[in-house]
């Protein structure tokens, strides 16, 4: 089935450790995104990539890093520089063919203790 | 004024009720409008997609756009307990440049009671 797969679903890490969240899509979409969702804050864009080997900062990129070496994959690293990393992280993708409608993965819950 | 405003609720209705969910916006350039449904601890799923003004119907769901008032609505007829979720509106000005320009509302939490 076509879709966006995020892993792991739940992740616990100690403060000061880097952690990488995986995102894979088999929709053949060119663009991929990472959002962060906090209660009462809505969705906030962290990074996005419109094409392989290129990515741009979103509204809250500080403390995060990404790579886009393959069309299907867009991993997000939450570094120790991120002040408040505990959140629900959503990966998404879109295609110009579909009117740039965004499709989301199931999300990853990161808890830093 | 925020670009997109959405009442967070919570909204609680009995089963079978007609539900009206709304968003207002300030950017008159917005012309692509979407509604997403998000169940607890899940990713949002696309529910409705409309372009410019007018209505779009899909089963029990109707999306309505009033560009003159900068107001969009999602109506749910014959609401079911399975409709209990958070509903997010989203909109953009253009398909040029990609969906990084998509602006989301903060979501309205809906509970349909059996």
Q: Report the half-sphere exposure of B49 (CA within 13 A, side-chain side).
A: 10
Helix/strand/coil (H/E/C) assignment for every residue in chain B: CCCEEECCCCEEEECCCCEEEEEEECCCCCCEEEEEEECCCCCCEEEEEEECCEEEEECCEEEEEECCCCEEEEEECCCCHHHCEEEEEEEECCCCCCHHHCEECCCEEEEEEC
Closest Cα of chain A to B90: distance in Å? 10
Q: How far apart are the first and last CA of chain B?
A: 38
CA distance B66 to B52: 8
Is A109 close to B41, i.e. CB distance below 8 A? Answer: yes
Nearest CA in chain B to A92: B43
B28 against B96, higher pLDDT: B28
* pLDDT tens track for A50-101: 999 999 999 999 999 999 999 999 999 999 888 889 999 999 998 877 666 8
Per-residue pLDDT reduced to its tens digit, B56-99: 999 999 999 999 999 999 999 999 999 999 999 999 887 555 56
Q: Smallest CA–CA separation between A43 and chain B, in Å?
A: 7
Cα–Cα distance measured from residue A34 to residue A20, given in angstroms and rounded to the nearest whole number: 12
Task: List the one residue out of A78, A81, A90, A83 whose CA is nearest residue A38.
Answer: A90
Residue of B nearest to A29 (CA): B98
**Token pair recorded at residue B35:** 């509604």
Contacts of A39 (CB under 8 A, 6+ apart): none
Interface residues from chain A to B (CB-CB < 8 Å): 4, 6, 31, 33, 40-43, 45, 48, 50, 56, 58, 88, 90, 92, 94, 96, 99-107, 109
Q: Are A94 and B98 an interchain contact pair (Cβ–Cβ within 8 Å)? A: yes
């Amino acid at each position: 089935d076509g879709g966006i797969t995020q892993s792991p679903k739940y992740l616990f890490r100690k403060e000061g450790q880097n952690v990488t969240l995986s995102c894979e899509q088999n929709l053949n979409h060119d663009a991929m995104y990472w959002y962060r969702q906090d209660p009462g804050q809505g969705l906030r864009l962290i990074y996005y990539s419109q094409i392989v080997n290129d990515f741009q900062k979103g509204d809250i990129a500080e403390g995060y890093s990404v790579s886009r070496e393959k069309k299907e994959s867009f991993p997000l690293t939450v570094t120790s520089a991120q002040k408040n990393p505990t959140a629900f992280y959503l990966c998404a993708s879109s295609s110009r063919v579909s009117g740039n409608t965004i499709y989301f993965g199931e999300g990853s819950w990161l808890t830093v203790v | 004024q925020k670009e997109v405003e959405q009442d967070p609720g919570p909204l609680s209705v009995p089963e079978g009720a007609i539900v009206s969910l709304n968003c207002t916006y300030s950017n008159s350039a917005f012309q692509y409008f979407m509604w997403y449904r998000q169940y607890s601890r899940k990713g949002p799923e696309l529910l409705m997609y409309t372009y410019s003004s007018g209505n779009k119907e899909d089963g029990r769901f109707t999306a309505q756009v009033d560009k003159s008032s900068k107001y969009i609505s999602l109506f749910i007829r014959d609401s079911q307990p399975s409709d209990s979720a958070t509903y997010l509106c989203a909109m953009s000005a253009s398909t040029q440049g990609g969906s990084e320009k998509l602006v989301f509302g903060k979501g309205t939490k809906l509970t349909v009671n059996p």
